[in-house]
Amino acid sequence: MSMRNDCRHFESRTFNSGDTVRRCKLDLAPEAPWRCPTECPKFDRRSMDVGWTHGTMVTGSAPAQPTSLDDGSAAAILSEAESIINAIASDVVSDLERGKPKRSKRNKKRKK
């Protein structure tokens, strides 16, 4: 099934460069931007659109669907990439926290 742009969790954003991101806000479409799961447990049709005038939701069409979607290898690569990022996330946050200058007690009192 293609991306359901009538779902309230569908999100599309076009950048100044013309690139378009199409995704599920709940991260339930591992094969985005090409397709949503056939029986998505969180599909919820947009309902607050009554009487609104809509522009185009997506400027460009979705990129051509790669053949690796059918054999599951694309989802496996994306899952592995997400695991790598999740594994280093806490280290990155702690590195950023260590780089922040510490405020003295005197500066904290002035800010209040």
List, as one string, the DSSP characters of 58-95: -SSPPPPPPTHHHHTHHHHHHHHHHHHHHHHHHHHHHH
45 with 73, same domain: the answer is no
pLDDT of residue 56: 62
pLDDT of residue 105: 61
**pLDDT single digits (tens) 4-53:** 888 888 888 888 887 888 888 888 887 777 778 888 888 888 776 666 66
Whether 1 is in a domain gets the answer: yes
46 with 4, same domain: the answer is yes
Whether 112 is in a domain gets the answer: no
pLDDT of residue 89: 92
pLDDT of residue 8: 85
Number of domains in the chain: 2
5 with 43, same domain: the answer is yes
Whether 25 is in a domain gets the answer: yes
**pLDDT single digits (tens) 45-100:** 877 666 666 666 555 566 677 777 777 777 788 889 889 999 999 998 888 888 87
74 with 43, same domain: the answer is no
- State which residues form the domain around 21: 1-50+58-65
Whether 45 is in a domain gets the answer: yes
Query: How sure is the predictor about 103, in pLDDT bands with cuts at 50, 70 and 90?
Result: low
Measure the CA–CA gap between 71 and 51, rounded to whole angstroms: 42
